[in-house]
Amino acid sequence: MPEKPTIEEIIHGSKHSIKLFSKSEVSNLEKYLYMNEKGKPYFKGVPGDRDRPAKPEEVVRQLFARRLNKQYGYPWERIKIEKNIVFGSDYTSNRADIVVMDKENKEAYIIVECKKPKRSDGREQLKSYCNAEGSPIGVWTNGSELLILYREDPNTYQSLSRIPTVDQNLSDVLGESWTMKELEKNNKLVIEKTTLKKIILDMEDIVLAHAGVDAFEEVFKLIYAKLYDEWKGSNNENYYLKFRVHGDNPTELKDKIDRLFDDAKRKWSGVFDYGEKIKLTPEQLKVCVSFLQDVKLFNCDLRVIDEAFEYLEIKVGKGEKGQYFTPRHVIDMCVKMLNPKRDEYMIDTAAGSCGFTVHTIFYVWGHKFRAKGPTAKEAAYAAEMVYGIDFDARMVKIAKALNIIAGDGKTHVYRLDSLNPKTWNLGDEHPLLDRLRHFDDPEMDKYNRDNLKEFAFDILMTNPPFAGDIKDTRIIKYYDISKKPNGKYPSKIGRDILFIERNLNFLKPGGRMAIVLPQGRFNNTSDERIRKFIAERARILAVVGLHPNTFKPHTGTKTSVLFLQKWNDDPNAGPLCPKVNDYPIFFAVSEEGGKDNSGEYIFEKDENGKLKLDEFGHPIVHHDLDEIADAFIEFAKKEDFSFWK
């Protein structure tokens, strides 16, 4: 007789595949696992049901059925396994995985559709069951994800915060008032170990795909309104959150959310125009709010927001430009290695969602978001010392929002084409003009102001777009790096190459930089001229090879981060970095990049296999970039780098 398998062996060892269930729930289920006379694994049936073969989908069904009984209190006589569902006048039928009957045991109250781990289909099937039976609650799960739907009518489904317990009515759940304390306790991102991206995918499936609106814009407006609601709740423990359905009819709810959005625009101006409105219909809005209401965003890991907006932005073509959100652990490594100071100006010239700027703010503050907001000194730093530029209007909106929330005030994030300053229309009092480098020679100073050529930032960190060549000869001729040895200019050139020179020009003498570049720039023989160009203008501090999975699932392009300090032998111009011909360089290669081959994040686990969580309850990404940063810091101190003294 073969040895009885474990639950993990039955589900083929899929990572996090039944993470919805606790270790004790899984351990308890194994008590009901046995080998039949043919040596096949079976589960002893729940009361009222027969024994069933122990297959991956059955693992999920057994776990959820037992949870309905033990955690929610429904008696076994009300829980039906594989109940027959009849459709329409032709009397076709199918079997629902689990059906919880109402108190009279006559009508379907909750219908549960179970899928084996990693399956994502079945939502439409669940809705068809609910419509056929008139069930008000539908639940879909694959063991790691959970979707709970409230069926208002056959064509309208909204997300339900939780399943009612046996002694509760549905109205008790629909009408709950929550403060931030309740939201923190029931935060879906923590409780269900889900992501904002997955929640938005569910919203698309239910309503957004057919809403006839720009999903990115409307979701961003809702998140903006929700962040403001949570900000109010974080500053007043008795404040009842408004971003909740709470039994409102669609029109009442839309009025409430519109007011939140207007208040957010007044509190954090500069992201949305005053006249911008939420374009979702009241009915569509109600569904979307129901999906987002149980997610805590304020003080959350910004990776959560990045992942969601990266998904939405890729859908509208940003990936075609070769620009992807930089993972937060890569950003943290760069910030830590360059060690920004309170009195140093910092910029990202391809800012995206402004990860580099926000994490620079956090680094200088010494902490992340706080519910009470930043101190006056902290807000002043965020508002005065940190800049971002991006040409993509959507990214500028996200960047402004995150920077404003971090700094709780104004922000220096601008929609400009970094590579083409001829298109800039800054006026006479634009803050960027204050950061222009000044020259003693009046003609040189005027030339620099007219051409916006050289700036005086202390630190620059960026991940410029890789894909696509620049073919505009007016732009190409603006850059010395474009010029061939024969003095002629090419008809096209990689945009990341131009970013190298542009970024060096943004730095003051002695300024330092971190830039993500394709690996080929470091080892292609055809790019030797580019490497010489860099070495002539800056000291190479470090090169860190990133793991091939770093930017998956969007691209598998191998990348490295180049760290530079601009040569400088004039103490009045900036930090000293006298030019030398021979010097040591720090090299490192990341072997644990934080993602698997499919681009899913890999998280830290403790000795019991349980996910390790940060101070806000979010999983911690498993990577080795902190170790690399620490090793560089030791190297920098040994080499007596001025910014690590």
pTM: 0.73
**pLDDT (tens digit, 9 = 90+) per residue, 238-297?**
999 999 988 778 899 999 999 999 999 888 877 888 889 999 999 889 989 999 999 888
Lowest-pLDDT range of 54-58, 121-125, 495-499: 121-125
Over range 316-332, report the average pLDDT. 67
Instruction: Report residue 82 as tokens.
Output: 């594989």
- Give alpha helix (H) positions in 339-375: 355-365
99 in helix, strand or coil? Answer: strand
- Does the pLDDT of residue 25 top 70, yes or no? yes
Distance separating alpha carbons of residues 351 and 402, to the nearest angstrom: 12
For 55, 196, 463, 592, 606, the CA distances from 309, given in Å and listed in that order, are: 36, 9, 17, 25, 30
**pLDDT (tens digit, 9 = 90+) per residue, 165-189?**
999 988 888 888 899 999 988 888 8
**Model pLDDT, residue 320:** 44
- Does the pLDDT of residue 310 top 80, yes or no? no
- Give alpha helix (H) positions in 453-518: 473-476, 495-506
For 164, 287, 366, the CA distances from 109, given in Å and listed in that order, are: 11, 20, 51
**Model pLDDT, residue 138:** 95
**pLDDT (tens digit, 9 = 90+) per residue, 403-460?**
666 665 567 888 899 999 989 988 888 999 999 999 999 999 999 999 999 999 999 9
Q: Which CATH number, 3.40.50.150, 3.20.20.330, 3.40.50.880, 3.10.180.10, labels domain 318-644?
A: 3.40.50.150
Mean pLDDT of the chain: 87
- Does the pLDDT of residue 588 top 80, yes or no? yes
**Model pLDDT, residue 443:** 93
**pLDDT (tens digit, 9 = 90+) per residue, 85-117?**
988 666 677 899 999 999 998 899 999 999 988
User: Do 355 and 325 meet the contact criterion of CB atoms below 8 Å apart?
Assistant: yes
220 in helix, strand or coil? Answer: helix
**Model pLDDT, residue 91:** 61
User: Do 225 and 242 meet the contact criterion of CB atoms below 8 Å apart?
Assistant: no
Backbone angles phi, psi at 503, to 5 degrees: -70, -40
Place 510 in a pLDDT band, splitting at 50, 70 and 90: very high
Distance separating alpha carbons of residues 129 and 75, to the nearest angstrom: 22
Per the listing, tokens 């800054």 go with 426
User: Do 482 and 430 meet the contact criterion of CB atoms below 8 Å apart?
Assistant: no
- Domain-wise residue ranges, the chain: 7-170, 189-298, 318-644
Backbone angles phi, psi at 470, to 5 degrees: -85, 125
* Angle between helix 625-638 and 328-338 (nearest 10): 10
**Model pLDDT, residue 317:** 45
User: Tell me: domain 7-170, CATH 3.90.1570.30, correct?
Assistant: yes
**pLDDT (tens digit, 9 = 90+) per residue, 561-572?**
999 999 999 998
641 in helix, strand or coil? Answer: coil
Give the burial class of 139: count Cβ atoms within 10 A of its Cβ; 0-12 exposed, 13-18 middle, 19 or more buried.
Answer: buried
pLDDT > 90 fraction of the chain, expressed in percent and rounded:
47
Over range 305-314, report the average pLDDT. 64
Checking phi first, is residue 577 left (phi over 0); if not, alpha (psi -120 to 50) or beta?
Answer: beta
Distance separating alpha carbons of residues 189 and 192, to the nearest angstrom: 6
Residues near 593 by beta carbon (within 8 Å), at least 6 away in sequence: 546, 547, 548, 549, 550, 623
Place 322 in a pLDDT band, splitting at 50, 70 and 90: very low
Distance separating alpha carbons of residues 257 and 234, to the nearest angstrom: 18
**Model pLDDT, residue 539:** 97
- Does the pLDDT of residue 507 top 90, yes or no? yes
- Does the pLDDT of residue 193 top 80, yes or no? no
